[in-house]
Amino acid sequence: MKKPITTIIFVLFSILSGGCSAGCDHMQERPAGQSDVIALACDPIPVVRVGFIGLGMRGIGAVERFMHLDSVEVVALCDLEAENLARSQAVLREKAKPEAAEYMGPEGWKRLCERPDIDLVYISTDWLSHTPMAVYAMEQGKHVAVEVPAAVTVEECWKLVDTDEKTRRHCMMLENCCYDFFELATLNMAQRGLFGEIVHVEGAYIHDLRELGFNSRWEDGSYVPGVGKAGRGKGPSGYWNYWRREYNREHTGNPYPTHGLGPVCQALNIHRGDRMTRLVSLSSGQFGMTRYAAGRFGEEAPEATDYRLGDMNTTLIRTAKGKSILIQHDVTSPRPYSRIHLLSGTEGFARKYPVEQIALEPDAHSALDKVRMDSLLVRYEHPFSREIGELARRVGGHGGMDFIMDYRLVYCLHRGLPLDMDVYDEAEWSCIVELSERSVVAGSRPVEIPDFTRGAWQKLSRLEFAGVR
């Protein structure tokens, strides 16, 4: 039977607009009794009592950084491996801190979240557990800090948003790369108009993770996350239960967009006067993972199977105000690390990788020389860097940006201030995981990006940081 012409027209319109042909979740009604959490402020917390879930590659580093923060108390620790708990307790002992309560087993994290003496749950586990843990913690009345991406599906993003709006608890996404010194300085430049109107931005996660993806324990059988094998220097040994590799086996698109996306979204004031509306995504074929595995384990080894994740994914995003965003992901190619971090405006340009560059009118055809660029970076040093940068560089965590992130999280909780990033940030940045995959699978068809604020993105005109003059 022939389809009515109206149906054909509707289907064509949906394809061109990136609408329901790609999923009808771009707008959901706000449930009764909920309201937005734009600029959410909660009661001040004099001493922030923290429970850490996941103490492997990222978690133990967070525990170590928290030892340098004032007015915090590590109350509880949770992991699936006793070794990680022991190493974290050793960190507390070294700093003369009380031993924390320990939780293990598949449900241990729930018991940690249920403790009445915890204010903040800090989650550093595998991707698939992020949303269930964050949601449960908020339901128990806890503020949440969760590693990137906070969610891997659009449904999970909505779940985070709705739970946050219901409970009125903070939920902030960690390891977001927004606190890097160059990113902060160029954000400050952008907010002060040095680049004019920002028109186009770029970000990426280009990081050769092939060896890491196939390591669980070192060849000698030892397992010491964050220490590494003799002769390799400091570094992680691998992902617990190969969870990241297995995700790459089953999915395509961009599974890890947030590193590059977060800082450029801040420069564009996303959900603070503008919002992302649609994307198209393209992935190359998959070559690197299979070839690496075949060379390491043999062509007949089970590790040398095919993986769905293309070597390079490129995603293009358009905003409501006509700005454009390019985001890339590649963890299987032998190339230097890069997050790109590019801002292009009507009066100037900045880029971090492969080398730091700034160009300004009236001679933006050429980048500033190093002396002039360094002078600008000093002049426009972000208040966070001036306040805590020296200590951050000593403490570390991605060169200090992780410590600035932790510092700001605790600073705002202490004072009852809105956090620098909210649940809409983590939903907007994380939803690209599923939406890029949808687009790739559909032949790079446009896909609508949900408005997780449900219209509240127009309440603010720009990104502001609470407590900063």
Give the burial class of 106: count Cβ atoms within 10 A of its Cβ; 0-12 exposed, 13-18 middle, 19 or more buried: exposed
Residue 25 confidence (pLDDT): 64
The H or E element spanning position 277 is strand 276-283
| Mean pLDDT, range 271-285, rounded to an integer | 98
Q: Please choose, from the candidates 241, 196, 237, 194, the residue with its C-alpha nearest in 3D space to the C-alpha of residue 219.
A: 237
**How sure is the predictor about 216, in pLDDT bands with cuts at 50, 70 and 90?**
low
Centre a 10 Å sphere on the Cβ of residue 448 and count the other Cβ atoms it contains.
23
> Which one-letter amino acid corresponds to residue 59?
G
Phi, psi for 206 (deg, rounded to 5)? -115, 110
The CATH number of the structural domain formed by 181-389+422-458 is 3.30.360.10
Q: Average the pLDDT over each of 23-37, 213-227, 430-444 and give the range with the smallest value.
A: 213-227
By the 10 Å C-beta count (0-12 exposed, 13-18 middle, 19+ buried), 116 is classed as: exposed
Please give the span between the terminal C-alpha atoms of the chain, in angstroms, as a whole number: 67
Reduced to 3 DSSP states, what percent helix, strand and coil does the chain have, rounded to the nearest 5? 40, 15, 45
- pLDDT tens across 411-434, in order? 999 999 999 999 999 999 999 999
Decide if 181 contacts 389 (C-beta within 8 A). yes
pTM: 0.91
Displacement of CA 290 from its chain's centroid (Å): 27
- Residue 51: pLDDT above 90? yes
**Per-residue pLDDT reduced to its tens digit, 288-337:** 999 999 999 899 998 998 899 999 999 999 999 999 999 999 999 999 99
User: Which residues sit opposite 143 in a β-bridge?
Assistant: 120
- d(CA 238, CA 222) in angstroms, rounded, equals 12
